[in-house]
Amino acid sequence: MKKNQTPATSQTEVVSSEAVTPTLNEQVDEETGEVTDTFKFKYLEGHPRQYRFDAKQGLFNINGTEVLGNTLTFQPLAWRIFTDSILNMGQKTWAELFFVDAANCVSSVLFHGYSVDNIFRLIEPLFYADLTLADVVITATAEKKENTKIQPKGTYYIATFGYQMADRKLTQELTAYAKSNRLFRQETTTDRANISRLYNWYNPFGENDDTDTGLLLAA
């Protein structure tokens, strides 16, 4: 299948490419002996497994310790785009995406700044094709940038995003799971966030809406 991949201009060598897609589990019916493949997802409510994008190093990691490389591939099942002061980083615009990784753990990853702008560049063509982020498998790639306004010049990384169409059956499984569970990250959730987009994200502080309509831009 042809990939609609966003060109990446990163000069960083790829250490590894971690495709975090759910793993099927075999279940055997004790009475009939019939074998079926099912997904069994693990989720401690409010505490998803944490994947992180280190914008200083241009690398993805798990919990700040297990380095994965400069790409991360995943299929979102819930998300929100919002402005808030969280994680002692001041007021920023964030994109928080939830997915299930290869260990079948419900996980989340955060992006901010220019990386959020790049997510909107992905959302827009999907919107006009009657698709959402939940319908595709995303590859996030760290792209190196230079700050020439300071001397000596500094370097930093932003995330760019490409995609390919997801497996329809898996998408249905993920959607059903997201709609029957309360997906959020307690550490990043406040009652003061200005949320511009959300899909299957549970708000413990207010009304909940499982739709993602319109192209609302975060302030």
pLDDT band at 63 (very low <50, low <70, confident <90, very high): very high
Residue 54 inside a domain? The answer is yes
pLDDT at 21: 61
Tokens of 124: 């827009």
pLDDT at 209: 60
Is there a contact between 22 and 170 (Cβ–Cβ < 8 Å)?
yes
Residue 211 inside a domain? The answer is no
Is there a contact between 94 and 83 (Cβ–Cβ < 8 Å)?
yes
Q: Which of 80-84, 145-149, 210-214 has the highest mean pLDDT?
A: 80-84
Q: Which of 6-10, 12-16, 49-53 has the highest mean pLDDT?
A: 49-53
Is there a contact between 56 and 40 (Cβ–Cβ < 8 Å)?
no
Identify the CA nearest to 86 among candidates 200, 185, 201, 215. Answer: 185
Residue 11 inside a domain? The answer is no
Query: What's the pLDDT tens digit per position in 143-186?
Result: 999 887 777 788 999 999 999 999 999 999 999 999 999 999 99
Can you tell me which residue has the tokens 């402005």? 83
Is there a contact between 212 and 197 (Cβ–Cβ < 8 Å)?
yes
Can you tell me which residue has the tokens 């997201």? 178
Chain centroid to CA 13? 22
pLDDT at 28: 62
Q: By three-state DSSP, how is residue 93 classified?
A: strand
Alpha carbon distance 143, 134 (integer Å): 24
Residue 179 inside a domain? The answer is yes
> What mean pLDDT comes out for the span 103-124?
96
Structural domain of residue 101, as residue ranges?
Answer: 17-199
Chain centroid to CA 61? 13
Contacts of 56 (CB under 8 A, 6+ apart): 156, 157
Tokens of 200: 């299957």
Residue 7 inside a domain? The answer is no
Residue 2 inside a domain? The answer is no
Q: Looking at the 3D structure of the chain, how many domains does it have?
A: 1
Q: Cis omega (within 30 of 0) on the bond before 152?
A: yes
> What mean pLDDT comes out for the span 46-59?
97
Cβ contacts of 31-39, under 8 Å, gap ≥ 24: 39/100, 39/104, 39/170, 39/173, 39/177
Q: Using a pLDDT cut of 90, give the percent of the chain over it.
A: 71
Answer positive or negative: Cα dihedral of 97, 102, 106, 107: negative
- Please state, rounded to an integer, the average pLDDT across all residues of the chain: 85
pLDDT at 121: 96
At position 71, the amino acid (one-letter code) is T
The DSSP output letter for 42 is: B
Is there a contact between 174 and 21 (Cβ–Cβ < 8 Å)?
no
pLDDT at 152: 78
